[in-house]
Structure 1
Amino acid sequence: MNRRDLLRAAALAPLAHTTLTRAAFAQGYPSRNITMIVPFPAGGQADLAARPVAMALERILGKSVIVDNRAGGAGGSVGNAAAARAEPDGHTLLMTLSSLAVLPEADRLFNRPVAYEVSQFTPIARVLADPTLLAVLASAPWKTVQDFVDDAKQRPGQITYGSSGPYGTLHVAMEMFAVSADIKLLHVPFRGAGPALTAILGGTVQAIAAAPGTLKPQVDDGKLRVLANWGAQRIASFPDIPTLQELGYKDVEMYIWAGLFGQSALPAPIVGRLREAMGQVMKSPDVLKTFEASGSLVAYQDAPEFSQFVAADSARLIAAVRKIGRVE
């Protein structure tokens, strides 16, 4: 071997060592318990998605999968950022919502330091993708969206609504609707959809945007009334509820999708193992039954399709945030 070949071999040695190390590591994955960060309190869409998925992953991967609710507020930004900073070894995953792309844009809108970027994550699987629903107390005077809009125009800024935090999924949905309806509502942020739901049930706020799985038990118990859905079509769990597009709000569309992510530097063999496992999870009868009972049907996408979906949905939501502008 001549000097040039020796130098080339020496230069390639670290890369070969890293590749072999990653491959060997992935072969033994997981080597310990897995933490699945949910950047919201219990009771919301991300938590609803995480718990049955974590239980099924435990059976498939042979290690405990611990759901870690990081209820730090900021619309989920705190938990998303924690997952982005975690070691990319597959032992810290993130189950998050469509606000993943919105929150960095909100930081830029307010000239704040950006907590994380979407580019720090790799999509693994989409789990749920429900349209947002507009709900009020069953005792509220509004029977229709038109009732709600007419009252809001008579009393600008006096009708309160709860959300999972500034520029979180539920906040953006309500402001998107408010802009289209030319009304002014009063935003009351909470640390997640669960606390926002508790607030409306207790009369602290008067309206809420939330996922079907979050609202269905309360509607079935006669505590809440759903007025409209932000989707492109009606849904099976609320077949009599019109879409906002049906009612004339053509530019209003919002989905609360929940998906599993790893870090962008996650080795390809580990991503492949997680994709394979999630393919099995999303066919599990127990998982399907749990989601069906909650009113949220499975909307599984594997990583390639999910990556395309995230890119397209993120672009649409970022455009909506820019149109909404700076709101509190």
Structure 2
Amino acid sequence: MDAESIMFGTDSSSMGSSMHIPLDALEDLFFWLEQARDLEVHSQSSQASADEEEHVEISDSMYSMFSGVSDVSSPWLLASREPNVLLSFNRLQLVGSMFHQMCEAVQFCHDHGISHRDIKPENFIVEDHRNVGVIPDRGEWHSDVVVKLTDFGLATAQDECDDFKCGSKPYMAFECRHNITPTYNPRQADIWSLGIVLLNLIFHRNPFKEPSVQRCRSFAAFSVAPIKFLMKAFDGLTFDVARYLTDHVFCDVTRSCKRVTAHEFGVWAKRLPEYFGMSDRVSMGACNSITTSLSDSRRENSTSIFRR
């Protein structure tokens, strides 16, 4: 079975199952994170032309789907970059729920001796079951947004790896980017990647192009003062969240530190609204001058042998 057809979800009945699914019929997480920009640009250009009133109406309707915060379960809410929506209770609740599923899928792999080694938004498939109703052959109601992990082209069953620079640079763990030690733990590296994806989910940006002091000024700044950097790079990020990521996710495992498990990370993320203060915050989002766009990250070369 080809690696891009294997999908792991968090549902107990589908955990570990594999099936041939036409992936281009589904949308990956990158799509949901970038959709707001595309629709907003389309809406603005449509409004500029009086001859395209019909298109204005359509795009405005589509925009309202993700700018409203009433539907907590809608993946459209992910796409919003509005200052009063970005860190809203409902959006953080959705991010926490989806990220918990992502972490559980990774934990399932780890529990079965598999490390993914290429965790990024493109490798998570989002299924919107809110309008599906009863799932065929299972006879149960499913009204949530379901996230599944896919593309195991770089996955390994090794406990320690010696093939460095494996994966996509913006999501690559520090110890994987540099051969400071003879080997690195791929499960620990997956946790670092999940941390980057969480920042993607919340702010639509990456903290750095790659975890290299020599090649990325942002990472150099992060290395000197990680909490300060994260709070400056991402407007509205609280001290407690920045400290957790610094101490438990982006910590340097080459210096005897140990990251949390994927399960522990997911459980923590379910309480995101609490960590951000429980009340809706106004956020201007990520600082563009010191962070990188997801589109730039997508153009980064990956060593994966499987291509979309």
TM, length-normalised to structure 1: 0.25
TM, length-normalised to structure 2: 0.26
More strand, by proportion:
1
Structure ID, larger Rg: 1
